[in-house]
């Protein structure tokens, strides 16, 4: 097998590993299953065409995410009526059962379908900028610098936006307890 | 503290934080609270696993690999600049013939209903090509609002220029309505790229009396028309299909393969007059005959 073919095979295998992550990010961006699938396919098509320009020491996953986000932004620029990014008020007073369970037993991360749906719904209710940064950092594990490159913003913006996003997500998931109140309950 | 949980601290900073947490109960509680929250949140990955059909499609894309020869964009731009220097006569020739073809094709969309009705009940046509199916799929997605246009330019030249460097073939759209001086009967809505096999095809959206028409183009090295009812005109074989209630006509000419999709219902030559009132166009229509 020639060098080019070997590299192709290696690229294909490595790229496919990130399919779930890319689809999850596409769902966050588009909030529509059909559009997300279309976005994923376009991302891989462009990646296949452009992978020759990928430097050997580059991070493939962040490269793929950057391609996807650029495709999506380009589509938004040309759509007559783009998605409406609405600031949602946090729902106060709703407790998620999984948060209770985690609070009392941090080692018992029991993930049920219902809990996953709660988290998915809460993330879906975040404003768009918060939604994507939560996924990039807390679900996909990108560093602040990698996130800054994907979002094309300063690392400082990543840090501050991430903090606000997490706070809003906590409110949506119903974590209203103060640390002292939680300590009192545990004791 | 959060930087520590995100693995963003330097080792000296980590030590300092750990030392502080040992001594400060309040900060330790905050830290533990945040750690539990983030640990739980990160346990939900993947939040949206890819459906099996999507995985299969992506595997196909990756298994085909990149094109054997993919010219860099800069080379493509230089070549097109060079061609344009020669190309006034060549471009005009391509432009005029291309205009005639696309004009005729819109007409064919209106005419084919008659021939299809006449042929119904005769020998069963062979199945439509994969390219025609792709064109129909994208037309339907456009109808559902699931195919946002990447450019909404309404001038053929702008659309043609937009595709330059994005696809490995020249996209030339006619501007015959203005050139023939007739009333504008159809609108150019915009265009975008659509995936086909391992590369992109050009997708152009039109509308006529608020009914959408889709035109998809790719290199004839990538796709060739096949199947359906066949109509010959000017040495070109047009393939007509009815797919999912939509009319599709596909053909190849001068290195490109086209597929035109609509749901227009007009019948007969009278319908042709809707779009074509010039003598040249009527002569073209007269030449259309089934194979």
ipTM value, please give it.
Answer: 0.72
Q: Which of A12, A77, A96 to mutate to test the interface with B (most CBs of B within 10 A)?
A: A12
**Residue A141 to chain B, least CA–CA distance (Å):** 8
pLDDT of residue A50: 86
Please state the domain extents for chain A: 3-78, 97-186
| Inter-chain residue contact A16 with B36, CB threshold 8 Å | no
Q: What are B211's strand-pairing partners?
A: B208
Please indicate whether the domains covering A3-78 and A97-186 agree at the CATH topology level.
no
Please write the tens of the pLDDT for every residue from B208-250. Answer: 877 888 999 998 888 888 888 887 877 888 888 888 788 888 8
**Residue B151 to chain A, least CA–CA distance (Å):** 5
pLDDT of residue A184: 41
Cis peptide before B46 (omega within 30 of 0): yes
Query: E-strand spans in chain B?
Result: 186-196, 199-208, 211-219, 229-233, 236-243, 246-253, 256-262, 289-290
Average pLDDT over residues B64-83: 56
Judge whether residue B266 has pLDDT over 90.
no
pLDDT of residue B256: 87
- Which three-class secondary structure state does DSSP give residue A37? helix
pLDDT of residue B179: 53
Q: For A97-186, CATH number? A: 1.10.10.10
Find all residues with CB under 8 Å of A125, minimum gap 6, and list them.
A88, A91, A172
CATH assignment of A3-78, given 1.10.1740.10, 3.10.20.30, 3.90.850.10, 1.10.150.170?
Answer: 1.10.1740.10
Cβ–Cβ pairs < 8 A, chains A and B = 157
Other beta carbons within 10 angstroms of residue B140's beta carbon come to 17
Judged by a CB distance cut-off of 8 A, whether residue B190 touches chain A is yes
Query: Rounded to an integer, what distance in angstroms lies between the CA atom of residue B136 and that of residue B142?
Result: 10
> How sure is the predictor about B274, in pLDDT bands with cuts at 50, 70 and 90?
very low
Judged by a CB distance cut-off of 8 A, whether residue B232 touches chain A is no
Residues 57 through 76 of chain B touching chain A, CB cutoff 8 Å: 57-59, 61-67, 70
Place of tokens 């783009």: A82
């Amino acid at each position: 097998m020639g060098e080019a073919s070997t590299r192709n095979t290696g690229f294909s295998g490595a790229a496919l590993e990130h399919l779930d992550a890319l689809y999850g990010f596409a769902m966050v961006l588009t909030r529509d299953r059909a559009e997300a699938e279309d976005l994923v396919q376009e991302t891989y098509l462009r990646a296949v065409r452009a992978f020759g320009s990928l430097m050997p020491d580059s991070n493939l996953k962040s490269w793929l995410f950057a391609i996807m986000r650029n495709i999506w932004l380009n589509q938004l620029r040309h759509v007559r009526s783009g998605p409406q990014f609405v600031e949602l008020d946090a729902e106060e007073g709703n407790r998620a059962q999984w948060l209770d369970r985690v609070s009392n037993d941090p080692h018992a991360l029991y993930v049920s379908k219902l809990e996953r749906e709660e988290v998915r719904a809460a993330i879906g209710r975040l404003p768009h900028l918060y939604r994507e940064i939560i996924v990039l950092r807390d679900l996909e594990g990108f560093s602040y610098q990698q996130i800054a490159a994907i979002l094309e913003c300063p690392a400082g913006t990543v840090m501050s936006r991430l903090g606000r996003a997490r706070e809003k997500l906590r409110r949506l998931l119903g974590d209203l307890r103060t640390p002292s109140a939680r300590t009192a309950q545990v004791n | 503290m959060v930087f520590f949980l995100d693995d963003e601290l330097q080792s000296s900073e980590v030590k300092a934080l750990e030392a502080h947490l040992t001594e400060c109960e309040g900060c330790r509680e905050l830290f533990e609270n945040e750690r539990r929250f983030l640990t739980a949140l990160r346990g939900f990955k993947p939040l949206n696993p890819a459906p099996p059909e999507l995985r299969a499609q992506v595997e196909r894309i990756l298994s085909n690999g990149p094109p054997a020869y993919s010219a860099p964009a800069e080379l493509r731009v230089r070549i097109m600049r060079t061609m344009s220097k020669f190309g006034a006569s060549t471009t005009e020739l391509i432009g005029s013939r291309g205009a005639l073809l696309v004009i005729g094709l819109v007409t064919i969309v209106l005419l084919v209903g008659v021939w299809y009705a006449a042929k119904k009940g005769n020998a069963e046509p062979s199945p439509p090509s994969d390219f025609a199916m792709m064109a129909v799929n994208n037309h339907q997605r456009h109808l559902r609002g699931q195919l946002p246009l990447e450019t909404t330019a309404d001038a053929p030249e702008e659309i043609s220029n937009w595709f330059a460097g994005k696809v490995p073939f020249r996209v030339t759209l006619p501007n015959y309505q203005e050139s023939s001086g007739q009333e504008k009967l159809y609108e150019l809505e915009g265009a975008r790229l659509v995936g086909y096999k391992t590369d992109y095809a050009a997708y152009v959206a039109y509308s006529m009396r608020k009914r959408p028409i889709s035109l998809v183009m790719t290199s004839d090295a990538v796709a060739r028309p096949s199947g359906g009812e066949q109509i010959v005109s000017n040495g070109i074989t047009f393939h007509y299909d009815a797919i999912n209630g939509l009319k599709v006509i596909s053909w190849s000419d001068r290195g490109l393969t086209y597929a035109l999709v609509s749901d227009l219902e007009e019948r007969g030559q009278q319908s042709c007059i809707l779009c074509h009132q010039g003598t040249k166009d009527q002569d073209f229509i007269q030449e259309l005959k089934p194979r």
